[in-house]
A and B are shown apart, each in its own frame.
Chain A
Amino acid sequence: MAQEKIGVYVCHCGSNIAGTVDVEDVAKWAAEQLHHRGVVVARDYKFMCSSLGQELIEKDIKQLGLTRVVVAACSPHLHERTFRTACKNAGLNPYLCELVSIREQVSWVHTDKVAATEKAKAIISGGVERVIWHEALEPLKVPIHPATLVVGGGIAGIQAALEIADAGFPVYMVEREPSIGGHMAQFDKTFPTLDCSACILTPKMVDVGNHPNITLMTWSEVMRVDGYVGNFQVTVRQKPRYVKTELCTGCGICQEKCPKKVIDEVFEAGLGYRKVVYTPFPQAVPNYPVIDRENCTYFIKGTCKACQKFCPTEAIDFEQKEEFIQIDVGQIILATGYDLFDPRKIAQYGYGRLANVFSSLEFERFTNAAGPTGGKLYLRDGVTVPKTVAIIHCSGSRDKNYNNYCSNICCMQSLKFAHLAKEKTGAEVYNFYIDIRTPAKAYDEFYQRVLEEGTHMIRGRVAEVTDAARGTKDEGKLIVQVEDTLIGKQRRIPVDMVILSAALVPRKDHHETARMFGLSCSSDGWLIERHPKLDPVATMTEGIFIAGCAQGPKDIPASVAQGAAAAARVIGKIQQHEIAMEPVRATVDQEKCSGCRICNNLCPFNAILFHEDRMVSEVNPALCQGCGTCVAGCPAGAITGTGFSNEQVLAQIDGLLLHNIKHLEMEAVPVP
């Protein structure tokens, strides 16, 4: 085989790279010093990713007959596909192109120009050595199962499920609670338009419940995920409802007759009660109740069965067991939502200790016409109407002691609370804020409206809420102590009621979720998207998408937009029927295999079969994910990993250490 003809292309990326790395010197160096290694051309260009830059490469491939291309630019995670496509357009196998990251790994992280330029040369040299050993490959085509799993039945999941189902593809929706609806179902009004949350949400919930393409699995949780894009096998645990759904008509008699009430910590946020057999709210979808086994008198004492006695259709079944259901899907959308920050952690605000300090979710239930007070706002005693209300923004957000991020929705939510408190009680309302953030459509106008209504806006983060009076005017009140930063003085404002706009935090079990689906979480615990700007709903794991608050705090419009965006991505893939995968796979050279079976146990995907008859192992390319552990572990060196072969890595090490110019200068070039 003749020596390869390699082209090296060094990108300026405007001044992003050229500002720190002497790109012209690097290109000149590559042309001269790596010439003996096959570099026949080395060019630098302002923006290699531009169409002119790509044409430059395509032209060289055609005119100079390049057999390998090295592009020194940004991270391969951004533009690998761009340059591979350019190669392909010029008739070169796209896998004969190697990207070297001299932006993320050099110019952006180093300041010393000389050192940065030297490092850029070294890693280009590594790329050149490596690319020599590249092989022409074809992408693997994997068929896509047309069904999709949507995890989480809040507004983001509902939107995603409906979009996909309406496009004609099957959807499984798994929801942990007895009903879909999520947090949005708990609210009464939604900002900034103040339209009724139930009015806009319940039609969508009903659509999900009735849609012929949607299989709704509530009171269920995903237990296990196997497989990979196109072919996931998902195990869902269906918790026992103790209600035969095929017989239940949702008449509600069981709930009426159940003699036991417990505090509803979930839907009513602890502010109200529910029966032990219950649907969380009247518009629940599906409208079958569940029996809360922990609290059910029958399960505790063995007697009662009031629900069973009164059920007209004999739908109550105390013998029901949990079931594990296997479903096959091609893609997955995670819309698992958020938890509310526990404001008890901010001890100085007294939540949980001072009766009339409420959380934002409690306030939502207060104002909800279907809530425990029928939409009336009272103090904890359930009868007194507050005359003064304090609303504390940023409770647990923007605070390194709790959550070092802005929860995004609290400003608007707090302004909504101010409006509702005033509307419902005529109370004097004080909002305590650090900054007011209203950057979406019609949001600032809503702020103006709340100002017009006479809400007192005090700029200062509240220091403490106390019932320790100083003087008679404070007696029996809660005192909000704050520095009014705009006048520079400490103020103590006596109020009847305090509402804490608590932060949104990742679900308690976010870490297990991330592990089960092979995703990673940010340090705050939110699921990480593939790219924060350009790929906000895809993840690093092919075939798994995220939507809504699972990805970070966001309001309803943004959650809906993400749900729809994730659905669009899923539908696009289904319609292609198959998906192209990186051909990074391991193969066993049957001649070299000694049959030791060490690799068999190294593979987490059970992709390595052992042929007892021939005493050799073989990799099933459909199951192999290309991690390369077996390649590293094979004592006979019989396993090769395409794309990351021993030759490629060892050659790259030589290149990085500049052996190709130090030691090999005079030697003949080894040819693969």
Chain B
Amino acid sequence: MSDQFEPVIIGFTCNWCSYRAADMAGTARMKYAPNVRLIRLMCSGRLDPTFVLKALAGGADGVMITGCHPGDCHYVSQNYKAMRRFLLMRRTLKQMGVEPERLKLVWASAAEGAIFTDEVNKFVEQVRALGSLHWPTSGEGYEQMFAIPEHMIAKEVTP
């Protein structure tokens, strides 16, 4: 193995489409980078922004959210909610000083193993290029992620 940086990426998949796309990629023996570790949710709408922050704060260098194509949601329209949250999350990350390119949203139907594979590979390269994530509040305790920064805590004002 070379010395190049190997990012760790957490991928959230929808049980009905992208998780099956990943299954299909496997069945068809398509190859992708081993940097992605997947979590199965019932729907991309289940994606709680906390999950993303938790993953990034906990040492992941990138997070990939995958869901059904717009209009194809197994639960009617929940993937649109995932998309809204994704856009908000990107903005939030930027404000936190994290490159928004570390978060990616991919639509992949159950038939699109090739697209899944392709997108994973592209994202791994993208995050590899960004380098290791130094979580702003990290240090020893990643649990601090929701702690209020020092300067924001109201100080007692002496009259």
B26–A646 CB distance below 8 A: no
For B110-147 the 0/1 string (1 means CB < 8 A from A) is: 11100001000000000000000000000000000000
Across the two chains, which residue of chain A brings its CB closest to B81? Answer: A629
Given A109-B26, A628-B41: A521 and B55 interface contact (C-beta under 8 Å): no
Residues of chain A with a CB closer than 8 A to B39's CB: 126, 649, 652-653, 656
A653–B55 CB distance below 8 A: yes
| Interchain nearest-CB distance for B61 vs A (Å) | 11
Q: How far is the CA of A507 from the CA of B76 in the complex (A)?
A: 22
A656–B37 CB distance below 8 A: yes
| Interchain nearest-CB distance for B38 vs A (Å) | 6
For chains A and B in complex, what number of residue pairs have CB atoms within 8 angstroms?
147
Across the two chains, which residue of chain B brings its CB closest to A75? Answer: B23
Q: Is B8 an interface residue (CB 8 A)?
A: yes
For chain B residues 14-61, which have a beta carbon within 8 Å of chain A?
A: 16-17, 19-20, 22-23, 25-27, 29-32, 34, 37-43, 45-51, 54-55, 58-60
B50–A646 CB distance below 8 A: yes
Quick one: which of A110, A116, A604 contacts B75, CB cutoff 8 A?
A604
Given A104-B26, A627-B42, A628-B46: A659 and B72 interface contact (C-beta under 8 Å): no
Residues of chain A with a CB closer than 8 A to B31's CB: 109-111
Residues of chain B with a CB closer than 8 A to A123's CB: 37-38
Residues of chain B with a CB closer than 8 A to A654's CB: 58
B75–A644 CB distance below 8 A: no
Q: How far is the CA of A122 from the CA of B51 in the complex (A)?
A: 17
Q: How far is the CA of A101 from the CA of B34 in the complex (A)?
A: 14
Q: How far is the CA of A567 from the CA of B46 in the complex (A)?
A: 35
Quick one: which of B8, B29, B45 contacts A657, CB cutoff 8 A?
B8
Residues of chain B with a CB closer than 8 A to A118's CB: 34
Residues of chain B with a CB closer than 8 A to A628's CB: 41-43, 45-46
B45–A629 CB distance below 8 A: yes
Residues of chain A with a CB closer than 8 A to B71's CB: 515
* A contacts with B, residue count (CB < 8 A): 55
B26–A627 CB distance below 8 A: no
Residues of chain B with a CB closer than 8 A to A116's CB: 34
For chain A residues 603-626, which have a beta carbon within 8 Å of chain B?
A: 604-605, 625-626
Across the two chains, which residue of chain B brings its CB closest to A99? Answer: B40
Given A104-B23, A646-B48, A649-B41: A520 and B111 interface contact (C-beta under 8 Å): yes
Residues of chain A with a CB closer than 8 A to B66's CB: none
Residues of chain B with a CB closer than 8 A to A644's CB: 41-42, 46
Q: How far is the CA of A433 from the CA of B117 in the complex (A)?
A: 35
For chain A residues 155-196, which have a beta carbon within 8 Å of chain B?
A: none
Q: How far is the CA of A101 from the CA of B46 in the complex (A)?
A: 21
Q: Is B92 an interface residue (CB 8 A)?
A: no
Residues of chain A with a CB closer than 8 A to B46's CB: 627-629, 631-632, 641, 644
Residues of chain B with a CB closer than 8 A to A108's CB: 25-27, 29
Q: Is A541 an interface residue (CB 8 A)?
A: yes
Q: How far is the CA of A165 from the CA of B110 in the complex (A)?
A: 33
Residues of chain B with a CB closer than 8 A to A629's CB: 43, 45-46, 75, 78, 81
| Interchain nearest-CB distance for A414 vs B (Å) | 29
Q: Is A114 an interface residue (CB 8 A)?
A: yes
Q: How far is the CA of A584 from the CA of B32 in the complex (A)?
A: 31
Residues of chain A with a CB closer than 8 A to B27's CB: 104, 108
Given A109-B25, A625-B75: A659 and B42 interface contact (C-beta under 8 Å): no
For A124-149 the 0/1 string (1 means CB < 8 A from B) is: 00100000000000000000000000
Quick one: which of A521, A633, A649 contacts B51, CB cutoff 8 A?
A649
Q: Is B104 an interface residue (CB 8 A)?
A: no
A521–B41 CB distance below 8 A: no
Residues of chain B with a CB closer than 8 A to A109's CB: 25-26, 29-32, 34, 117
B81–A602 CB distance below 8 A: yes
Q: Is B152 an interface residue (CB 8 A)?
A: no
Given A112-B1, A629-B43, A657-B59: A520 and B72 interface contact (C-beta under 8 Å): yes
Q: How far is the CA of A118 from the CA of B8 in the complex (A)?
A: 12
| Interchain nearest-CB distance for B6 vs A (Å) | 8
Residues of chain A with a CB closer than 8 A to B49's CB: 632
Q: Is B64 an interface residue (CB 8 A)?
A: no
| Interchain nearest-CB distance for A405 vs B (Å) | 13
Given A108-B27, A629-B43, A629-B45: A657 and B78 interface contact (C-beta under 8 Å): no
Quick one: which of B30, B45, B50 contacts A650, CB cutoff 8 A?
B50
Given A625-B75, A656-B10: A632 and B48 interface contact (C-beta under 8 Å): yes
Across the two chains, which residue of chain A brings its CB closest to B109? Answer: A520
Q: Is A119 an interface residue (CB 8 A)?
A: yes
Given A520-B111, A521-B111, A604-B75: A122 and B32 interface contact (C-beta under 8 Å): no
Q: Is B90 an interface residue (CB 8 A)?
A: no
Q: How far is the CA of A486 from the CA of B58 in the complex (A)?
A: 64
- Give me the interface of B with A, judged by CB distance under 8 Å: 1, 6, 8, 10, 16-17, 19-20, 22-23, 25-27, 29-32, 34, 37-43, 45-51, 54-55, 58-60, 68, 71-72, 74-78, 81, 85, 109-112, 117
**Other A-B pairs beyond A604-B78, A629-B78, 10, CB < 8 Å:** A109-B25, A116-B34, A602-B78, A627-B43, A627-B46, A627-B75, A628-B45, A644-B42, A657-B55, A659-B58
- Give me the interface of A with B, judged by CB distance under 8 Å: 75-77, 101, 103-106, 108-112, 114-116, 118-119, 122-123, 126, 514-515, 518, 520-523, 528, 540-541, 584, 602, 604-605, 625-629, 631-633, 641, 643-644, 646, 649-650, 652-654, 656-657, 659
28 contacts between A and B (CB under 8 A): A101-B23, A104-B27, A105-B26, A105-B38, A109-B117, A110-B31, A110-B32, A119-B37, A122-B37, A514-B72, A515-B72, A520-B72, A520-B109, A520-B110, A523-B112, A604-B78, A627-B45, A628-B45, A629-B78, A631-B48, A632-B45, A632-B46, A632-B48, A632-B49, A644-B41, A653-B10, A653-B39, A656-B37
